[in-house]
Amino acid sequence: MILEVIKADITKIEADAIVNAANSSLLGGGGVDGAIHRKGGKAILEACMVIRSKQGGCKTGEAVITTAGNLPAKFVIHTVGPVWSGESVEKDALLANCYRNSLKLAVENNLETVAFPNISTGIYHFPKDKAAEIAITTVSNFAEKGKIEKVIFVCFDDENYQLYEEKLNRINH
């Protein structure tokens, strides 16, 4: 599995799946969630509504998959990150679950390239350094990583980009 970091708008990424930092309603929101729904069009929201009617949304740490509508990616994997409220091993574990469960869904759907945003580091205020450490560790240790060709960490701000670059350089050298 190749690990990459880029600074970009995730809605422009051509991957088998892009991951959305959604909220448990699956009805869209601000940040990356808003951008994905806005640019992907109503097909994504419609697919989320079908999932809501079956399972009533998505719990923190879990993930669901939908069409990517008008986006260049093939699918959107929606996962719900934890809201930061101070140090907590439970919250760390929930953030790790987001990455693990998203990759599990990718494998189940035979998807080989997955792009992640920096889940929980926006409106949910998770500390960026800690979130990056959890993201990279969890993806690197994913049990079925042989089935994933490439994971792209798509950073939107310089701070996250620098954190990921440093951490990935340390792994690769």
Name the residues annotated as catalytic: 33
Q: How far is the CB of 117 from ligand ADP (least distance, A)?
A: 4
Q: Is 120 in the site for ligand ADP (CB under 6 A)?
A: yes
From residue 14 to residue 53, the character string flagging contacts with ligand ADP as x (rule: CB under 6 A) and all else as - is -------x--------xxxx-x------------------
CA 97 to chain CA centroid, Å, is 11
Pairwise CA distance, residues 62 & 38, whole Å: 23
Q: Is 58 in the site for ligand ADP (CB under 6 A)?
A: no
In the set 75, 116, 124, 142, which binds ligand ADP (CB under 6 A)? 124
Number of helices (H), then strands (E), in the chain: 5, 6
Q: Which residue has the tokens 């989320």?
A: 48
Please report whether residue 119 would count as binding ligand ADP according to CB under 6 A.
Answer: yes
Q: Shortest distance, CB of residue 115 to ligand ADP, whole angstroms?
A: 9
- Verify binding: residue 118, ligand ADP, rule CB under 6 A: yes
| Owner of token pair 């693990």 | 100
Give the helix ranges, DSSP H, for the chain.
31-40, 42-55, 89-108, 128-140, 158-172
Contact 79, 22 (CB under 8 A): yes
Q: Which residues bind ligand ADP (CB under 6 A)?
A: 9-11, 21, 30-33, 35, 81, 117-124, 154, 156-157, 160
